[in-house]
Structure formats: C-alpha cells, structure tokens
C-alpha cells in the first residue's frame, strides 16, 4: 500500500476530537507517519480601537499572548488526556479557509477529524462537511475509538470505484481487518408508489426481479474486484436514500470503518453539500474515510 507520510489531525478540544487524536495515533503506529495536531482559533485579534495606535498595538499584543498561552495549554492537556505526542500548530483565522491553506502548504496525505453529527436545515455550517466537499486529500471522520476489525468498501459503478477499492484494501491491510464490499441500488418505483395515496402492487419489484438485479450487480462488481469471496459482496435494493440504506447494511455487518469515494459536482456541491459522501456521515456511527474524486491515498 502507499505509505502515509504526513497526517493532519484537527481539534476543537471536544470529546469527538479526542477520537480523532487517538485514530491519528493508531495510524502513526501502523505506518510511522508524522502527525501534526492543528487547532484553528477564530477568536478576533483585531477590533476598532478608539485609542492611539501604540495603545492598540500594546493591548492586542498582550491579548494575543494570553490567548496563545491558554490555547497551547488546552492542546497539551488534550494530548495528555489522549495519550499522544504530536507536533502542534495553532492558527488564528477562519477555520475552513485556514485549514485548506494548511493542507496545501503542508503537503499532507490525510486529514483526520471528528464530526458532531449535528443536522440542520442549512448543513453548510458543518466544518466536517465543508472539508469533505472541498479537500484535495482524503478525510477520515472519527466517531469512536473502536478497534478497526472490519472495513466496508462502498462502491458504485463509476470512475471513482478503482480508487475506493484500492483505499479499502490498503486500510484493511494496515489494520489486518476483514474487508467487505457494499453497494446500494435505489428501488425508485417502490419509493414513488409508497408516496402515492394508493398502491399499485403489480408494478413493484417481485422477489425474482430483485434476485436478478442483485446477481447482475454482483457479477459486475466481481469484474472489477477480481478474486474475492462472493459472500463479501453485499448488494442492497432499498426504497430509502443511499446514505441511510448503506449505513444500515454496514451496521448489520458490524463495520468499523467505511471507505467511500466522493463525486465532484462543482461549486454548488461545495455550497449546498448535497452529496452521498457528506450526508453519509450523519447516518453512519462508525468511522468513515472519504476520498476526493480520482484520488486515492
């Protein structure tokens, strides 16, 4: 597998980011990569000041010094709490833009971060989802510190599938974990019918049709996967959304880490975050590795 050289782990000092630190430490132990802990503070260090320029500079300098000291202590306390020892970077500014800049200049291979799982009408407020939508490197979202014994590779028949397969195999090898492959086929006809005031039962998929679709999907996946155990290929036909149905299947099979690729859909995706990859992390309570389009690790 491709060697991980540089990993960034983002922290906001929450319990969720504790999981991210512990996961980054596991990656460090498995791959001997370097890890940099990054906290970005959006606390204002400038404001309108009616006094003289000298007074303003003196006060701002003192404020910045005290704030830096306080945050650096929180960083050290969190590393002690999590039992890790990383290099640390404290950055002042807007979180999204500063993290994007840091990723570029550090030439990191992977970003590890937590996700609070807060759903809202306007999900663009989620830092994790913004990073998933825009990051040029893979993003590993952590939700727990469960050992990685089972990896689930989420596939669709698209140009991102080869990168997803490779990453799934790489992480399964890294953690010596069992690897399974999952795909979800939406049952659009039944979905639509269940929303109607009456049901037309003879137009929904019967059992034989479902079996035929699943068999064809498995055969198509095997062409891309090569020699794999057919029992490790799970195909689901569901009237639910893709994120929800995949998450349920992963939970059924006790998957600890899900690996999936992201389709780039241009600027609107980055604004409204409507993709399966970003929505998936609201449903799946395990850990998730999301790959940018056409890029592996």
Tens digits of per-residue pLDDT, 94-114? 999 999 999 999 999 999 999
pLDDT tens by residue, 69-87: 999 999 999 999 999 999 9
For residues 273 and 167, state if they share a domain. yes
Specify the higher pLDDT residue, 161 or 6.
6
CA pair distance 284, 290, nearest whole angstrom:
13
For residues 241 and 166, state if they share a domain. yes
For residues 164 and 282, state if they share a domain. yes
pLDDT at 222 over 60: yes
CATH label of the domain that carries residue 297: 3.40.50.620
Distances (CA, A) of 14 to 26, 85, 102, 232: 19, 18, 21, 36
Specify the higher pLDDT residue, 9 or 279.
9
Q: What is the pTM of this model?
A: 0.84
For residues 183 and 296, state if they share a domain. yes
**What is the reported pLDDT for 127?**
87
Asked if 238 and 184 count as a contact pair (C-beta separation under 8 A), the reply is: yes
Secondary structure (3-state) at 160: coil
pLDDT confidence of 274, banded at 50, 70, 90?
very low
> Which string of b and e fits 97-124 if b means at least 16 CB within 10 Å?
ebbeebbeebebbbbbbbbeeeeeeebe
With respect to residue 153, please indicate whether it lies within any of the assigned structural domains: yes
CA pair distance 206, 217, nearest whole angstrom:
17
For residues 184 and 232, state if they share a domain. yes
**What is the reported pLDDT for 208?**
84
Domain count, the chain: 2
pLDDT at 126 over 60: yes
For residues 110 and 189, state if they share a domain. no
With respect to residue 199, please indicate whether it lies within any of the assigned structural domains: yes
pLDDT at 43 over 70: no
**What is the reported pLDDT for 30?**
93
CA pair distance 12, 209, nearest whole angstrom:
49
For residues 65 and 8, state if they share a domain. yes
pLDDT tens by residue, 48-73: 555 556 666 677 778 888 889 999 99
The whole domain housing 85 covers 1-114
Asked if 263 and 293 count as a contact pair (C-beta separation under 8 A), the reply is: yes
**What is the reported pLDDT for 224?**
87
pLDDT confidence of 237, banded at 50, 70, 90?
confident
């Amino acid at each position: 597998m491709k060697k991980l050289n540089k990993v960034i782990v983002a922290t906001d000092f929450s319990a969720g980011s504790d999981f991210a630190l512990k996961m980054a430490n596991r990656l460090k132990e498995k791959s001997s990569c370097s890890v940099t802990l990054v906290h970005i503070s959006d606390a204002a260090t400038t404001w309108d000041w009616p006094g003289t320029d000298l007074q303003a500079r003196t006060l701002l300098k003192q404020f910045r010094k005290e704030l830096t000291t306080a945050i650096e202590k929180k960083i050290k306390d969190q590393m002690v709490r999590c039992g890790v020892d990383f290099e640390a970077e404290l950055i002042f500014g807007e979180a999204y833009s500063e993290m994007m800049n840091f990723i570029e200049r550090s030439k990191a291979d992977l970003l590890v971060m937590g996700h609070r799982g807060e759903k809202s009408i306007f999900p663009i407020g989620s830092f994790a989802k913004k990073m998933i939508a825009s990051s040029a490197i893979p993003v590993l979202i952590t939700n727990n510190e469960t050992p990685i014994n089972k990896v689930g590779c989420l596939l669709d028949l698209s140009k991102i599938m080869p990168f997803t397969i490779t990453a799934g195999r790489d992480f399964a090898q890294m953690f010596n974990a069992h690897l399974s492959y999952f795909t979800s086929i939406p049952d659009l006809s039944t979905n639509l019918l269940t929303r109607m005031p009456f049901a037309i039962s003879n137009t929904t998929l019967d059992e034989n049709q479902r079996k035929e679709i699943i068999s064809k999907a498995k055969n198509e996946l095997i062409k891309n996967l090569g020699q794999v155990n057919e029992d490790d290929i799970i195909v689901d036909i569901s009237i639910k959304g893709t994120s929800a149905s995949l998450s349920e299947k992963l939970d059924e099979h006790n998957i600890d880490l899900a690996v999936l690729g992201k389709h780039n859909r241009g600027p609107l995706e980055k604004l409204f975050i409507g993709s399966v990859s970003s929505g998936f992390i609201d449903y799946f309570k395990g850990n998730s590795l999301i790959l940018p389009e056409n890029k592996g690790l």
